[in-house]
A and B are shown apart, each in its own frame.
Chain A
Amino acid sequence: MQYPKGGEMDLHSDAFLRRLMRRQLRLAIACAVTFLIALLGLPLLNYFYPEAMATRVFGFTLTWFILGVLFFPFVWIISYVFIKRSIFLEEEEEASAASEATQESGKVGG
């Protein structure tokens, strides 16, 4: 995605808001989809491959091991990635807004 570094965007313009929301939403949806594929895929695996999912892993059945143990770290990873990227996006917005503010001083309050 192209990101105009120069900050030719007005903070109060529709374009700025739209870009702001779209970038965050796109990131959130990407993370949500990864999570949902795993979460909603597991019952399907259980449904169609019951034998394979009953294979023993360290005494657990495979599906028990995935759901009861592995799922937690998986979600931690997703949330870590999300937070890193999301905060990076925010910093980018701030930086661009700051450079804009120097150009048209007084526009941004507080």
Chain B
Amino acid sequence: MQIDPYILAFSALTVIATVWMGFWSAKRSKTAGDFFVAGRSVSVGWNASAISGEYLSAASFMGVAGMVMSSGYDALWYPVCYACGYLFLLLFIAGPLRRFGAYTIPDFAEGRFDSPLFRKIAVVFVLFIGFFYTMPQMKGAGTTLAYIFPGLPYWAGVVLVGAVITLNVALGGMKGITLVQAFQYWLKMFAISVPIFALMAVDGNYGSHLQCNQKAPETPSMISEGDVSISLETASEIGRKDLPQKAPADSTWLNPFGPLTTKAATSGISPALPPERVRSLLDTNNYLIFRPYSWDFAVQPSLPIRILQTVTRPFSALGSRLSGQVYSMNSVASVGAAMRACSEFSQKEVLLSRQSTNSVIAPFTLTAKSVGDLLTQFQSMMASNGIVLIPDGVGKVWAVGNPEATGVRLAMAQLNLSHRPIRLYSLLYTYSLIIALVCGTAGLPHILVRFYTNPDGAAAKRTTMWVMILIGVFYLFPPVFGVLGRNLMPDLYAATGAKGTDKVVLELPRILNETGSAPAPGAAVSALADRTGAADEASAATREGARAPQKKRIPWGSILSGITCAGAFAAFMSTFSGLLVSLTGALAHDVYGRMLNPKSTPDQRMRMFKVCAVLCGSGAILLGFFVEKFEINKMVGWAFAIAATSYFPLLFLSTWWRGITMKGAATGMLVGGTFSLVTIASTMLADQAPWAKGLADFYAGHPLLRILAEQPAIWALPLAILLMIIVSKLTRTEVPADIRMKMLVLHAPEKLGLKQEYIQEHQAR
């Protein structure tokens, strides 16, 4: 594959424009004072665009789409909570923080508790969160460059982009200038929405693409081993391509509690069994996996009979009569036949018996006076027979078994199954994720800086509302890429790392090259009409016309793909440079300037800023090497989790509770943040490091702990808050003396003039 000139041109243009704008505006506002004074005159609209521009990172631009494609419904929590997190910021933090005049969290920490020591503690988390946040940006950079220059290894992209941005920051361009960030927002908005409208005009809209992901057909298609092969056609008008083996099935993809949230819970189950093993298990009179009505069981996901992993249904749904047919479970063929019967003759129950040798031995019927009675009979039948498959009439198959039956227990032991409430775990995972994302937004260091550019608290609130609208509109689009990508470009499922689903946003528009029609909205109807006919001819034409574009055939796909690449560059460049500025600032200003060498001259500090920029940039690049296998979005989620368990409780309690003391706040923040950092890092190691095999095995055996370690917000946030309250109560004599004045500054409207009074008092002391 050769380099597509359009894609290269658009990407290069974005990089050059960003770098140029950075230097241009940096020249115009040389001092920090300039920056802030200029900032105060910025209107709500510009400010909201700038905040959104800084916020929408590679995770939003590429990661959300990739994750929706790879994991389905559950991934939607990410964009929704990224956007809705601002509500918490708006309700509890934005206004007071702006009034207080603190524009970084360390500033706030120092001012609120009159403690330079606390400032130093708070700085530590700027570094933790910042580095966690740079990792996904680096992955985005590596992925994008590997796409633009096919053949370029992932690490080379990371080094190249990391070096360019680091140099740029070190030389003084790319400070968080409002204008540049605002421009980046609109570029990203344009780059994500225009290709989507073009794609939807040609290939069908969002809803109809989702429509063709039915849950029914996947059921039987799971049995494809050996002599049994069943598959149902997907009925749809959308030109859907076949899903590769690695793609999640429609039902798990489309529904809540899918692969994303159940992965941790199912990770303990032994790796995919080879077909021979499954066959031997069946041949030696063992039972397969099942899912009784009233219990959730772990299911080996890659077994052919994955269908048994379905939803619970109450026993009462059985009614008082149960009838069906008995099948032998002594061969794969027979089990397959049973399943086929189950799905095709949808109202019959199918019993798999280890005693029988024929495929169908006998019909059976159970009748009972009451549900309880039926249950008893049913269970005794289970004890001897093991598994019953029951169709529910809409194409889903239910498998029922008695976990106490000896055969079932044996099978579970052999398959390394245990009684695991998978859906319940999945629910827990979902909640923890939601807490991390919603509360984490309110504690992101590089976002809070921007609120200082609002003229007052009321404007800060208005700005936040507009940010929510701007990013909310943006977040409607990435999931569409994921949904369309699943149907139109399923090849991405098969690849991993930089070639996987994370690049769907970049690559998907190129399918319009094959379609060969102009994606202008007016042409949509005709494009749909002649699509089938034109497809062959068009793809032939693009093949030969790749070098010399023909007169009429404009390669819209390449152009649009170039636009999304430009958007991706805008995304990781703006966020990465924002982060790098705040990381470098923390190191140069707080660590060097205040701790290591408090007597340093401004010149020394200036030099140190450059050294620190290079240090942070190299650190980020190094970290970037290790994260190719992780999904972009997931890594950002982790940065949010650390923010949610350290900064969020600090900001929330310091704003609304006057009894909090420095020791209380510091204890809660340190414990909450460090614990979640350590547990998250431990799951990353367990997944990636070969030497952490023991840890991986431990987590595999303890899925609940694995979930709590991977998504720590659900316990770490309450822990942090609790510690803050307890320690503050114990040290209540240390509440700052002028706490009432501080609270007034935080909450009283600016027009009352309390802020000036506060400053005068402070200077007088």
Contact = CB atoms under 8 A, between A and B. Distances in A.
Interface in B416-467: 423, 427, 430-431, 434, 438, 457-458, 461-462, 464-465
Contact of A43 (B211, B431, B457, B751): B431
A107 to B, nearest CB: 10
Q: Which of B77, B81, B311, B747 has the most CB of A within 10 A?
A: B747
Interface of B is mostly: helix
A41 B458 CA distance: 31
A33 to B, nearest CB: 10
A56 B255 contact: no
B747 A24 contact: yes
B747 A108 contact: no
B438 A39 contact: yes
Question: Chain A interface: which size bin?
Answer: 35 or more
B611 interface: no
Interface residues of B, number: 63
B462 A47 contact: no
B747 A20 contact: yes
A79 interface: yes
A21 B656 contact: yes
A24 B99 CA distance: 14
B65 interface: no
Given A11-B754, A17-B743, A20-B748, A83 B255 contact: no
B441 to A, nearest CB: 12
Interface stretch (B101-109, B472-480, B569-577, B593-601): B472-480
A61 B458 CA distance: 39
B753 A108 contact: yes
A92 B457 CA distance: 15
B350 interface: no
A46 B479 CA distance: 19
B476 A72 contact: yes
A11 B748 CA distance: 9
B215 interface: yes
A72 B747 CA distance: 28
A93 B423 CA distance: 50
B256 A75 contact: no
Given A24-B747, A61-B210, A75 B88 contact: no
A67 B80 contact: yes
B430 A87 contact: no
Contact of B461 (A51, A63, A86): A86
B294 interface: no
A32 B254 contact: no
B752 A76 contact: no
Nearest to B458: A87
Contact of B431 (A25, A32, A40): A40
Contact of A68 (B479, B741, B748, B760): B479
A79 to B, nearest CB: 5
Interface in B51-81: 73, 76-77, 79-81
Given A32-B91, A72-B83, A79-B90, A21 B434 contact: no
B497 interface: no
A80 to B, nearest CB: 6
B419 to A, nearest CB: 18
A110 B756 contact: yes
Contacts of B765: none
Contacts of B756: 109-110
Nearest to B748: A20
Contacts of A14: 740
Given A72-B80, A93-B752, A60 B465 contact: no
A25 to B, nearest CB: 6
Contacts of B741: 12
Given A71-B84, A72-B476, A76-B468, A64 B76 contact: yes
B80 A64 contact: no
A61 B749 CA distance: 45
A20 B88 CA distance: 19
B207 A75 contact: no
Interface string B388-431: 00000000000000000000000000000000000100010011
A64 B254 contact: yes
B473 A21 contact: no
B536 interface: no
A75 B85 CA distance: 10
A78 B83 CA distance: 13
B95 interface: yes
Contacts of A86: 95, 461
Nearest to B753: A110
A50 interface: yes
B744 interface: yes
B418 to A, nearest CB: 21
Nearest to B73: A64
B90 A82 contact: yes
Nearest to A21: B747
Interface in A70-108: 71-73, 75-76, 78-80, 82-83, 86-87, 90-91, 93-94, 97, 108
Interface string A10-36: 011010010011001100100110010
Contacts of B131: none
A6 B364 CA distance: 84
A15 B256 CA distance: 49
A83 B465 contact: yes
B757 interface: yes
A93 to B, nearest CB: 6
B757 A110 contact: yes
B257 interface: yes
Given A40-B431, A68-B76, A47 B423 contact: yes
Nearest first, the 3 A-B pairs at minimum CB distance are A59-B207, A110-B753, A59-B211
Interface of A: 11-12, 14, 17, 20-21, 24-25, 28, 31-32, 35, 39-40, 43-44, 46-47, 50-51, 53-54, 56, 58-61, 63-64, 67-69, 71-73, 75-76, 78-80, 82-83, 86-87, 90-91, 93-94, 97, 108-110
Interface of B: 73, 76-77, 79-81, 83-84, 86-88, 90-92, 95, 205-211, 215, 254-257, 311, 423, 427, 430-431, 434, 438, 457-458, 461-462, 464-465, 468-469, 472-473, 475-476, 479, 656, 740-741, 743-744, 747-749, 751-757, 760
12 contacts: A25-B656, A43-B430, A46-B255, A54-B254, A54-B255, A67-B73, A68-B80, A75-B87, A76-B465, A76-B472, A80-B465, A86-B95
Given A71-B80, A109-B756, 19 more contacts: A11-B748, A14-B740, A20-B748, A28-B91, A32-B91, A35-B87, A39-B84, A43-B256, A54-B254, A59-B208, A59-B209, A60-B210, A64-B254, A72-B473, A75-B468, A76-B469, A93-B749, A109-B757, A110-B756
